[in-house]
Structure 1
C-alpha cells in the first residue's frame, strides 16, 4: 500500500506516505527556474521573454508562494495524523493481543483449534489500523494532486511543459539509479556470501 514493490530502495527512502512529498514540487519548480534563469540571464536582462520557468512573473511567484504555504501546513497536518496512527500499533489492545498470542504459541494451544480464534482476533485488531492507513494515504494522494494542479494552473502552457518534463526526468532518473544500486548491492552480497562459503570450506578441509 505505502511501498510498491516496483520501487527501488533509494526511492523508498524518499517516500512520504506512499508517494512524493507535495512540498517537493515547489523545490523542483524553484530549482528548475533558477537553472533556466541563469542559462538565459542575458536575454532576460535585455527584456526578452524566454517563456520558460526562468521567466516567472512577480504575480506567479506570489501565487506559488501562497499555494506553497497552504501545502506545507496541510502536509504537516497529515504527517502528524500518520504519526498518531502509527502509535496505535503499540496501544493497550495490541500489546494485550500480542501477549495473548505469544502465550498460546508457547503453550502450543494454536494446535488445538485455537488458530481460527487467533486469526479472528488479529484480523479484528488490524482492520481499523489498515483502514486508517488507507484514509491517510487517500488524503496524501489528494494533496499531491491538488498541489500539482495548483502549480500547473499558475504556469503558462510552455512553462508547464518545462515543469512536467523536469518532474518526469527526476522521477525516471531516481528510479533508474535506485534500481542500479539495488542490483549492485545484491551482486556484492552474493559475492561476499560465495567468498565466505569458499573460505569456510577451505578452512574445514585443513
Structure 2
C-alpha cells in the first residue's frame, strides 16, 4: 500500500492516481474546496439535466400530437373516400331504377293504347257517351305521360338537393296537374259515370284496388304515415286524424253506393215480377227510376274525387316542402309499380 511519502515523491501508484482524481476537479486547476463553487456546479448540472429532460418531454408530446393529427387526417380521408363510393353507388342505383321505371311505363302505355284499340275496334258507330269515354281514355294517357315527366323532374331535383323554392315550384305544378285529372274525370262522369266508376281506363291490377273510380284516400295517408320519414309527432298526429276522418267519409259514401245498388236491384226485380201484368207506362216509370239510380252514382263519384283531392291538399299543408316532394314520389312510385306489375301480368308467357 502506498504511503503519503511516495505520493509526495511523485511515485505513481494506483492509490495515488485515485487520490489525485479525487483532489483535482479538472486538469491544470487546483482542487476546489469552496462549498459555494461546488454548489454552483451542482446547480448548473441539475439545471442542464432538467432542461434536457423538459426538451425531450416536449418533443415526445409534440410527436404524440403529430401522430394523433396524422391518424385523424387519415381517418377523415378514409371516411370521405367511403362516402364518395356510397354516393356513387346510390346515384347509379337511382339511375338504374329510373331507367327500369321508364321502360315499364312505356310498356304500360303501349298496353293502354292496345287496350283502347281492342275495346273500340269492333263497332264503328259509337254513341256520344262512348265517344266521350274514348276521348277521356286518350286524355288520361296523355295526362299520365306528362305526369311521368313531372315526377322525373321532381326526382332529379330531390336527389340533387335543389333549393326549397325550386322544389315548391315543381310540387305546385304536380298538384295542379292532379287537379286537372279530377276535372277531366268530372266531365267524363257527366257523360258516362259508369265508365269512370268501372275504371276501364286503368290497368287490370289497378281496377282490383279501385274504390268509387279511384284510390282510397285513407290508404294513401296510411302509406305516407308508414313510409315517409322522419315525421314529427304533430305531423304524424295530423296525418292519423286525416286518415280517420277519411275512413268515416269513405264508409258513408260506400254505404250510399250500396244503398243505390240495392234500390237498383229491387227496381229491376220489381219489373221482372210485373212483366206480364204491368202496363207500358209503369214499365217506363220503373226504367226512369232505374236510370235515376244510375245517375245518382255520378254524385257519389264526384264526392269521392273531392275527398281524394282534399287528401292530397291536406298532405301538402301538413308536410314541409321537401317532405311533400318525397310524398309525391312515394305515391307516384306506388301506382307506377301497380301499373308495371299489371303490364307484366298481361305479357306473361301463357302455359
TM range (shorter): 0.5 to 0.7
Provide the aligned length of Structure 1 versus Structure 2: 155
Instruction: Give unpaired runs (5+ residues) of structure 1.
Output: 34-53, 105-115, 192-206
Whether the 8 Å contact between 2:197 and 2:213 is mirrored in structure 1 is yes
Tell me which residue corresponds to 1:5: 200
Trace 1:1-206 onto structure 2 (pairs within 5 A). Answer: 1-33=196-228, 54-91=229-266, 93-99=267-273, 123-184=287-348, 188=350
Q: Give 1:79 deviation, angstroms.
A: 1.1
Once residues 3 and 90 of structure 1 are traced to their aligned partners in structure 2, the CA distance between those partners, rounded to angstroms, is: 18
Q: Give 1:77 deviation, angstroms.
A: 1.0
What are the Cα deviations for residues 40-97 of structure 1, in whole angstroms up to 9, with x where unaligned?
A: xxxxxxxxxxxxxx12112211222221221111111111111111111221x32132
What are the Cα deviations for residues 12-58 of structure 1, in whole angstroms up to 9, with x where unaligned?
A: 1111111001111122102322xxxxxxxxxxxxxxxxxxxx12112
Task: Decide whether aligned partners of structure 1 residues 128 and 153 sit closer, same or farther in structure 2, where only a CA change above 3 A counts.
Answer: same
Q: Give 1:182 deviation, angstroms.
A: 2.8
TM-score, L = length of structure 1: 0.66
Once residues 137 and 97 of structure 1 are traced to their aligned partners in structure 2, the CA distance between those partners, rounded to angstroms, is: 27
Instruction: Give unpaired runs (5+ residues) of structure 2.
Output: 1-195
TM-score, L = length of structure 2: 0.40
Once residues 320 and 311 of structure 2 are traced to their aligned partners in structure 1, the CA distance between those partners, rounded to angstroms, is: 16
Structure showing greater Rg: 2
Once residues 59 and 80 of structure 1 are traced to their aligned partners in structure 2, the CA distance between those partners, rounded to angstroms, is: 32
Higher relative contact order (CA 8 A, sep 6+): 1
Once residues 59 and 25 of structure 1 are traced to their aligned partners in structure 2, the CA distance between those partners, rounded to angstroms, is: 18
Aligned residues: CA RMSD? 2.6
What are the Cα deviations for residues 83-128 of structure 1, in whole angstroms up to 9, with x where unaligned?
A: 111111221x321323556x69xxxxxxxxxxx9899567524321
Once residues 202 and 285 of structure 2 are traced to their aligned partners in structure 1, the CA distance between those partners, rounded to angstroms, is: 32
- Counterpart of 2:217 in 1: which secondary structure? coil
